[in-house]
Amino acid sequence: MNNRQLAQKWPFPRHKEFKQKLQHASTAWFKDRQFETHPKMPYCLLKWSDWGNNIILKEVREYIQKCKAESENQGKPFPLHQYIHHGLSSQAMTFNLIVKNFKGRIFNCQLNSLAKVRDVIHKKVGR
């Protein structure tokens, strides 16, 4: 079987198709909630400052805002991605997935908790 034949049997969607499905899902999410979106990209919130609307649970959004405020009060950065308001934001997706995996429990906003998450990530990528 040659590569062309193998490609036709590939069970996963192509990147373009997958991205379009995600864009449609984000567009529907924002539209259903009547959030303002970019006129040319309805899968992207209109303003960066509306990033919280890209987080599914209110408790998660409040938790992130609390951690951000605590970090800034201590003079430490709390980097939110430049495109966290984008419907396909990997950071927003991560915030939403972490909560789903912890079954809604919000873990403590202490550096020890974040260090544990960092350690797991570093082990996975071999750093």
Digit-coded pLDDT (tens) for 24-82: 999 999 999 999 999 999 999 999 999 999 988 887 888 888 888 988 999 988 888 89
Q: Could you tell me which of 93, 63, 66 has the C-alpha nearest to residue 81?
A: 93
Question: What's the pLDDT score for residue 117?
Answer: 58
CA atoms of 2 and 6, how far apart (whole Å): 6
Q: Could you tell me which of 98, 103, 109 has the C-alpha nearest to residue 62?
A: 109
Answer whether residue 21 is part of any domain.
Answer: yes
Question: What's the pLDDT score for residue 5?
Answer: 82
pLDDT tops 80 at residue 13: no
How many separate domains does the chain show? 1
Answer whether residue 67 is part of any domain.
Answer: yes
Answer whether residue 4 is part of any domain.
Answer: no
CA atoms of 40 and 119, how far apart (whole Å): 40
Answer whether residue 50 is part of any domain.
Answer: yes
Name the band, by pLDDT with cuts 50, 70 and 90, for residue 85: very high
Q: What angle do CA 42, 52, 59 make, to 5 degrees?
A: 135
Answer whether residue 38 is part of any domain.
Answer: yes
CA atoms of 77 and 18, how far apart (whole Å): 34
Q: Could you tell me which of 81, 79, 89 has the C-alpha nearest to residue 30?
A: 89
Residues of the chain with pLDDT > 90: what percent?
Answer: 35
Report the first-to-last Cα separation within the chain, whole angstroms.
39
Q: What is the pTM of this model?
A: 0.67
Average pLDDT estimate for 84-111? 69
Answer whether residue 2 is part of any domain.
Answer: no
Q: What's 16's DSSP letter?
A: H
Answer whether residue 5 is part of any domain.
Answer: no
Answer whether residue 74 is part of any domain.
Answer: yes
Residue span of the structural domain in which 35 resides: 14-125
Question: What's the pLDDT score for residue 61?
Answer: 86
CA atoms of 30 and 33, how far apart (whole Å): 5
